[in-house]
Structure 1
Amino acid sequence: MFVPSHMATKVLAMPDPQRASRPSKPAPRTRRPVAAAVRSGLRRYPAELLASLRPTPEHGPLPVRDVLLELAPHGLAAAWLGHASVLATMGELTVAVDPVLSTRIGPRLGARVFGLSRRTPLPIDAASLRGIDAVLITHAHFDHLDRPTLARLADPRTTVIVPPRCARLIPRGFKAVIELPAGEAIDFHGVELRALMPRHWGARAWLDRRRGFNAYILRSDDAAALFAGDTAETDVFDNLDGIDLAAFGIGAYEPWEHMHATPEQVWRMFLASGARRLLPVHHSTFELSDEPMHEPITRLMNAAGDDAERVIVGEPGEIVVVEPPR
């Protein structure tokens, strides 16, 4: 089995999810979220739009998918690819969740993308993932549905799962595009794929608010994983059965707490879900909000306290194999 020398692999045994954890103090709520959001955007977007006029270097591919398939032919393995992007295998099924493998995100004008630049190197090139079984899109925001990445992933062997009213945003070239409403489930290659509704919104643009937004549960006979997507604090994830790995977004909460949970709120949702391991995503990649880039992880680990070993912290591209409970 080939593992790049700069790519680490973790094998995680499952702890008991019923262990007591210290409660976390909630973060204060923003009283005027719209005004705060406008001020936040004005602090970063003008400079980023000007920077969009300069070329951004690309990064070479790493064979992450092949390594995942060798590591977990019958179980669960995952690699965080930066921001909210996760590559996961469950048995012989390989899926990419919210793949954003571009150096800049935002609206496209001709050959140029205008928006936020990636602050960390890409761990993998999208073209190297062509032919995976499925792409799961949680919602249509530019940092989750990246059309340039999807265009490089387009392949007649790959199915794309999206929330309602998002299918037309997907580039051509895929086997199928399926709109899955929250509350419904499909059988996909022997794995149950169920959509839940987080506490968020699904617009592609400010006036485009009718699009759906999902979280997803993948469940096989051997493992189960939750990909919560973007969400404010909610009880929709309470008491889920047998979740081995839960991916929750932990960043972009200042001043966006009404749509992005704080790290302390994420820890509470994780505990309420009954999941065994937490994979924090949506942090340390794009400067979407006002909190320092690496603050979310620090706050999450402080919230976890004595249960911090249940949190998977690693570099983008690092592979985690989640073993079943003993």
Structure 2
Amino acid sequence: MTQQSEPTTKDKELDSPAPTSPFPPLAEPRPLDERRVWPRTFHDRLTAPLPGLKAMARFAREGAVRPGREGLADIPLLPFEPGPLPRVDARTVAVSWAGHASWVVRIGGLTVLTDPVWSRRIIGTPARITPVGIDWEVLPRVDAVVISHNHYDHLDAPTLRRLPCDTPVFVPAGLARWFRRRRFTSVTELDWWEAAELDGVRFDFVPAHHWSKRSLTDTCRSLWGGWVLTAADGQRVYFAGDTGYGHWFARIGRRYPGIDLALMPIGAYDPRWWLSDVHCDPEEAVRATLDLGARRMAPMHWGTFILSAEPVLEPLRRVREAWEKEGLERGDLWDLPVGGSRVLGLT
């Protein structure tokens, strides 16, 4: 894989601070459910070229797709501790990890699901190795859903069919059509650095080092990214979605200072020559959290689906070591078990 590209002129303009402020101005919220026209492709947003024929041939030749026997032997040791969801009010921020990139985020009085995948299987991948950590039946009313991109382990049609069709959904540019075909009636699609508001909570869509594809003909036809959720009182949670390491994290941190918690992917990184441009390894996830200026980090995107070749428990061990090496407070690493919850301000 190649090195990440330099920021474009458009990127630099977006990142330029306002003359009277040390931080770039935030965009005015766009209307909910707005119908918009997008470019046919978002290939120009890639920060590294997608794998070519030589890389595909090497990947097929090496066959490094799954962990070896020793790496799989740790599956029974994966932390799985489902518990009751914490009680919250409009002033409380709480997160509960259902597994992979699926979180129940309570913020500003809303219940928000991130990349909800409650299915046992997804296309092209063995069944999940830990059960879903939160039973669907115990969820409070879902006020909103945010989607980072359209890969099957982040956009799961069987799970979404469980939701009422009037559930507000926030999606990347170019993805609203997928939801409207499934009769969702409240779909807001955003470009990078754009935002919308719902009942006092602000939803900002921010860049990521990744890509999109769901079929043979739709590569990069919709955008990809992360989300910054901000309550009216200023409490702020960043959901990274799926991303490699790169320059966007520092820019997001400058534009959205005071992130209280970063939900960061730490798995699906081996082999590095194949995956480094699109998936952080644990050390990069810690570095990205520092770039963001986030006060806390909660690891995700590991211990649920086997997507790559690293041993299943290795991401947890490495992220703990990297956190300690940086001299960070142990209590600010929220390395939750699947099914675990934490509340901001409580130990």
Flag whether TM exceeds 0.5 (same fold).
yes
Could you tell me whether the CA contact under 8 Å between 1:126 and 1:153 is conserved in 2? no
Mark the CA change 1:36 to 1:233 in structure 2 (over 3 Å): closer, same or farther.
Answer: farther
Matched, 1:303 2:304: no
Mark the CA change 1:42 to 1:296 in structure 2 (over 3 Å): closer, same or farther.
Answer: closer
Per the alignment, residue 298 of structure 2 pairs with: 279
Mark the CA change 1:93 to 1:234 in structure 2 (over 3 Å): closer, same or farther.
Answer: same
Shift of 1:124: 2.5
Could you tell me whether the CA contact under 8 Å between 2:65 and 2:307 is conserved in 1? no
Could you tell me whether the CA contact under 8 Å between 1:154 and 1:173 is conserved in 2? no
Per the alignment, residue 236 of structure 1 pairs with: 248
Q: Which amino acid aligns with 2:120?
A: T
Give the Cα–Cα distance (whole angstroms) in 1 for the partners of residues 89 and 140 of structure 2. 19
User: Which residue among 280, 289, 304 is the counterpart of 2:308?
Assistant: 289
Per the alignment, residue 39 of structure 2 pairs with: none
Give the Cα–Cα distance (whole angstroms) in 1 for the partners of residues 212 and 140 of structure 2. 26
Matched, 1:82 2:82: no
Matched, 1:98 2:115: yes
Could you tell me whether the CA contact under 8 Å between 2:125 and 2:306 is conserved in 1? no
Could you tell me whether the CA contact under 8 Å between 2:88 and 2:106 is conserved in 1? no
User: Which residue among 251, 265, 268 is the counterpart of 1:252?
Assistant: 268
Shift of 1:186: 1.0
Matched, 1:163 2:172: yes
| Counterpart secondary structure, 1:116 | coil
Shift of 1:74: 1.2
| Counterpart secondary structure, 1:309 | helix
Matched, 1:264 2:280: no
Could you tell me whether the CA contact under 8 Å between 1:127 and 1:153 is conserved in 2? no
Shift of 1:42: 7.5
Would you say how many aligned residue pairs link Structure 1 and Structure 2?
Answer: 268
Q: Which amino acid aligns with 1:159?
A: P
Could you tell me whether the CA contact under 8 Å between 1:244 and 1:276 is conserved in 2? yes
Tell me, which stretches of 5 or more residues in structure 1 are unaligned? 1-29, 45-61, 107-113
Per the alignment, residue 199 of structure 1 pairs with: 209
Give the Cα–Cα distance (whole angstroms) in 2 for the partners of residues 190 and 293 of structure 1. 39
Mark the CA change 1:43 to 1:313 in structure 2 (over 3 Å): closer, same or farther.
Answer: closer
Could you tell me whether the CA contact under 8 Å between 2:174 and 2:189 is conserved in 1? yes
Q: Which amino acid aligns with 1:252?
A: A
Could you tell me whether the CA contact under 8 Å between 2:108 and 2:232 is conserved in 1? no
Q: Which amino acid aligns with 1:94?
A: T
Give the Cα–Cα distance (whole angstroms) in 2 for the partners of residues 37 and 130 of structure 1. 43
User: Which residue among 213, 218, 240 is the counterpart of 2:224?
Assistant: 213
Mark the CA change 1:208 to 1:227 in structure 2 (over 3 Å): closer, same or farther.
Answer: same
Equivalent runs, 1:61-72 vs 2, <5 Å:
67-68=85-86, 70-72=87-89
Per the alignment, residue 313 of structure 1 pairs with: 335
Give the Cα–Cα distance (whole angstroms) in 2 for the partners of residues 178 and 41 of structure 1. 40
Per the alignment, residue 12 of structure 1 pairs with: none
Q: Which amino acid aligns with 1:225?
A: V
Tell me, which stretches of 5 or more residues in structure 2 are unaligned? 1-50, 67-81
Shift of 1:236: 1.3
- Structure number with higher strand proportion: 1
Equivalent runs, 1:141-152 vs 2, <5 Å:
141-152=151-162
Give the Cα–Cα distance (whole angstroms) in 2 for the partners of residues 147 and 130 of structure 1. 20
Could you tell me whether the CA contact under 8 Å between 1:235 and 1:269 is conserved in 2? no
Q: Which amino acid aligns with 1:168?
A: R
Give the Cα–Cα distance (whole angstroms) in 2 for the partners of residues 140 and 40 of structure 1. 27
Give the Cα–Cα distance (whole angstroms) in 2 for the partners of residues 261 and 219 of structure 1. 24
Q: Which amino acid aligns with 1:314?
A: L
Q: Which amino acid aligns with 2:229?
A: L
Q: Structure 1, residues 165-196: CA drift from partner, whole Å, max 9, x if none?
A: 21233363544111111111111211111101
Q: Which amino acid aligns with 2:290?
A: L
Mark the CA change 1:39 to 1:161 in structure 2 (over 3 Å): closer, same or farther.
Answer: farther
Give the Cα–Cα distance (whole angstroms) in 2 for the partners of residues 131 and 140 of structure 1. 24
| Counterpart secondary structure, 2:290 | helix
Mark the CA change 1:273 to 1:92 in structure 2 (over 3 Å): closer, same or farther.
Answer: same
Give the Cα–Cα distance (whole angstroms) in 1 for the partners of residues 261 and 337 of structure 2. 17
TM-score w.r.t. length of structure 1:
0.75
Cα RMSD over matched residues?
2.5
Per the alignment, residue 193 of structure 2 pairs with: 183
TM-score w.r.t. length of structure 2:
0.71
Could you tell me whether the CA contact under 8 Å between 2:125 and 2:305 is conserved in 1? no
Between stretches 199-208 and 189-198, larger displacement belongs to 199-208
Give the Cα–Cα distance (whole angstroms) in 1 for the partners of residues 61 and 137 of structure 2. 37
Matched, 1:123 2:133: yes
Shift of 1:36: 4.9
